[in-house]
Amino acid sequence: MGFLRRLLGGESDSSASETAPATDPADAEDDERARDVALLREDHERLDDLARRQLRYAEYAWEPPAQGGERRADDSDPASERAEGG
């Protein structure tokens, strides 16, 4: 947006640089890390003990085996394919 303003003779460079200050990459990483920590704290405070335990052990939860094998309802019937193709 600043490029178009300079190209079309809009605001000066000094006023455009005040609205978007240059940041150091190390500062950006520190800000991002601080934001992540704040989000984790908020999540921890928002969730009760039961929800935290459920999230912690979700990867160990038992899932029932798939029933009916790999074939699904929208797959064509192998017996009818043999009769048609054969």
- What are the φ/ψ torsions at residue 84 (nearest 5 degrees)? -75, -45
Q: Is the pTM higher than 0.85?
A: no
Residues composing the chain = 86
Model confidence pLDDT, tens digit, residues 64-79: 887 777 777 777 766 6
Say if residues 5 and 16 touch (Cβ distance below 8 Å).
Answer: yes
CA 10 to CA 2: how far, in whole Å?
Answer: 9
Q: How far is CA 37 from CA 13, 28, 50, in A?
A: 36, 14, 22
Can you give the pLDDT at residue 76? 75
CA 78 to CA 86: how far, in whole Å?
Answer: 12
pLDDT in tens, the chain (86 residues): 676 777 777 655 555 455 555 568 888 899 999 999 999 899 889 989 999 899 899 989 888 887 777 777 777 766 666 656 54
